[in-house]
Amino acid sequence: MTWDLGRFWNTLTYYEVLPFASFWRWLQNGFQSPEVPFMPPSLTPATSLPLVLLGDGLPEGLTEALRQQGAEVGQSQDWVTARVILGLGAPEVARAHLERLRCSGQTEQMLFDFRQPNPQLNQFWGILDDVVMGGVSQSQLLWGEGELLFTGQVSTANFGGFVSTRTRNWQPPLDASGFAGLELRLRGDGQRYKVLLRDQGGWDSPAYAYAFDTTPGEEQTVQVPFAEMVPTFRARRVAATPLNTRQIYSLQLMLSKFEADGSPNPRFRPGPFQLGLRWIGLYRSDPLPQLIGVAQGSLSPAWVTALQESSSRWCGVEIPAGIEGSTLAAHLLRLLRSPESVGRVVPLEAFPG
């Protein structure tokens, strides 16, 4: 492969590095502007998350009681951002629900959902490879089955050695100050990738990096703590203030032969690569419950383990037989607003009347 002037030019115009980039894209589009301007993703209030009731063993009238007390109870089958109340009365049914939760993962705030193809993807996500520095690596974004594939060939020829996909700048910048970090649901190829965030709008501004390892063919949830992101500039660590999460301008995923400090990436290998992305979300430092398992009587250690394996934001509730839906609804709503309940088994009697 040889260096490609056309790809170099397209990269600079896509990210508006050149002063006349907008005019050039207008020419490329046949003198037409998009009919509907693309709006970058924004954050939705936590109160808008749907509440879903599943399983058996929940008291009669619980759904209506929750609605009467102001909860939004839906029939959504998308549990990634839902708050799930699961009755454990029928073990096989409950285990099937828990397995689906484990396989899909959960995030508190969806940022990018790649599970369904979006024709507007290329209006916000683009390719940024080492062609900008004379390299010959090539990558692309393709829709797979329930995921977005970041794939291609990475080469160290011509002193290159990286491929990446990067968003255009959020306008206005994204305020993620209420969260502790990013969550990525992905399927990797065994290589070590990097996430980069920028809190300045400049094309070549410093980036804050975090590296993560993948297991070939295995779907996993990767958490990227904002506090552990390293300030870098052109694959070199630099002195800088911590990432300003109140103004995130861009997000970038990269496969590089270098670590954040400029040392060699020990898991880097030239040649074909592929990273499948399900979704990118955000998580809080003090998470709220997203999965509440409800059992009559004591919650067995086996159920506690099953809840733990299905969601990092689980809570167990032990209820007496014959409890009314209105009583349980009030206690469940308290739990859903309580970070202290995450990772705990709570007997109903622990609540004051």
Q: What confidence tens digit (pLDDT) does each residue in 165-199 have?
A: 999 999 999 999 999 999 999 999 999 999 999 99
Q: Report strand pairing: 271-283 vs 125-127.
A: unpaired
Min mean pLDDT across 146-155, 258-267, 291-300 is at 258-267
Can you point out the beta strands (E) in 131-270?
138-143, 148-154, 162-167, 181-187, 192-198, 207-213, 219-225, 230-232, 250-256
What number is the average pLDDT over the span 258-284? 94
Predicted local confidence at residue 5, as pLDDT? 76
Which pLDDT band holds residue 149 (cuts at 50, 70, 90)?
Answer: very high
Q: Is it the case that residue 108 has pLDDT exceeding 50?
A: yes
d(C-alpha 81, C-alpha 16), whole Å: 34
Predicted local confidence at residue 351, as pLDDT? 54
Min mean pLDDT across 238-242, 259-263, 327-331 is at 259-263
Tell me the domains of the chain and their CATH numbers: 5-32+113-283 (2.60.120.430), 46-107+287-350 (3.40.50)
Q: How many CA atoms lie within 13 A of 161 on its CB side?
A: 14
The pTM score is 0.89
Sign of the C-alpha dihedral, residues 233, 223, 49, 81? positive
Give the residue among 259, 152, 154 at the shortest CA–CA distance from 196: 259
Predicted local confidence at residue 203, as pLDDT? 84
Sign of the C-alpha dihedral, residues 218, 221, 227, 229? positive
Residue that wins the pLDDT comparison between 65 and 41: 65
Percent of the chain at pLDDT exceeding 70:
91
Predicted local confidence at residue 46, as pLDDT? 58
